[in-house]
Amino acid sequence: MQLKTFIDRATQLNTKTVAVAAAEDEEVIEAVAHALDSNLARFILFGNREKILALIKEKYPKGEEDSRIKIIHEDTNNAAAEEAVKSVKNSEAHVLMKGNIPTSMLLKAVLNKDYGLRTGNIISHVAVFEIPGYDKLTLITDSGMNIAPDLEQKAQIIKNAVSIARSIGIENPRVAPLAAVEVVNPAMQATLDAAALTVMNMRGQINGCIVEGPLALDNAVSVFAAEHKGITGKVAGKADILLVPTIEVGNALYKSLVYFANAKVGGVIAGAKAPIVLTSRSDTAESKLYSLALALCSVSN
């Protein structure tokens, strides 16, 4: 499977709508243009109408007459975030996308107890990678939201990632909680948590997947490395989901794959009532398109 598969799937589900908070941004309008050209979804753009229209005229002239775009004027970023979240809450839109607005401001609206998208569970980032020379897609979580999750938070992060994996056709994903070693070491919290997560999976507390750990990265993704070290199991060398112990590990692994391995990636925030796309200015247009398509596939699941 390749990431472009998500675009094909989302194209078949083009009745979905994306709400963009503070859409008056060049990169955002370019991402919207690419999505419309691929017939992925409809868009509600919240923000400064005059600025949004000027950008559409510059970046996507045919968008001025495109019925798939609706612009709702808001005077401030706070108001844009609030109304975009409310549109998802009220089922007017199915996916929330970050525009030219601080992530913290958008998440404040998402977590608002009155009109937000809270579910009571932790929200986490799930990235799906297509890595050159590797024969399948790999999910990494959490590289962008939770700094140092505890055991219960890691269990919920796994559940979020499993829901995304299943939405893209990985029915019973193999999950590897990463650590520096494959044995339990009381001095290394990541190994203790990995072992506990494995037992929780065995006892049905984490469903819909296979969890085995702790595993170092090489033994999680390479059958050769796992066999060479005598590590057996259903996950060793075949992991679909890599659960990182801290945000630093996830951030470094994410960026290493992008910058050193030229991997393609799409990412989504999971665990809320609807998927959230948090695109970065450094993301390529291709990556933003993959992220949108991934979000649309996950909500359709």
The stretch 169-173 carries a mean pLDDT of 94
Radius of gyration for the alpha carbons in the chain, expressed in angstroms and rounded:
20
**What is 41-79 written as a DSSP string?**
-EEEEEE-HHHHHHHHHHH-GGGGG-TTEEEEE-SSHHH
- End-to-end Cα distance, the chain: 17
| Both tokens assigned to 269 | 């925030």
Average pLDDT in the chain: 93
Question: Which is it for strands 210-211 and 174-177: parallel, antiparallel or unpaired?
Answer: parallel
| Structure confidence by residue, pLDDT tens digits, 215-254 | 999 999 999 999 999 999 999 999 999 999 999 999 999 9
CB 295 within 8 A of CB 277: yes
| Structure confidence by residue, pLDDT tens digits, 190-219 | 999 999 999 999 999 999 999 999 999 999
Cα-based distances in Å from 69 to 87, 148, 275: 15, 39, 20
Predicted pLDDT at 301 = 64
Q: Which amino acid makes up residue 12?
A: Q
* Dihedral, CA of residue 27, residue 31, residue 32 and residue 34, to nearest 10: 140
- Dihedral sign computed on CA atoms, order 162, 163, 168, 169: positive
Q: Which amino acid makes up residue 220?
A: A
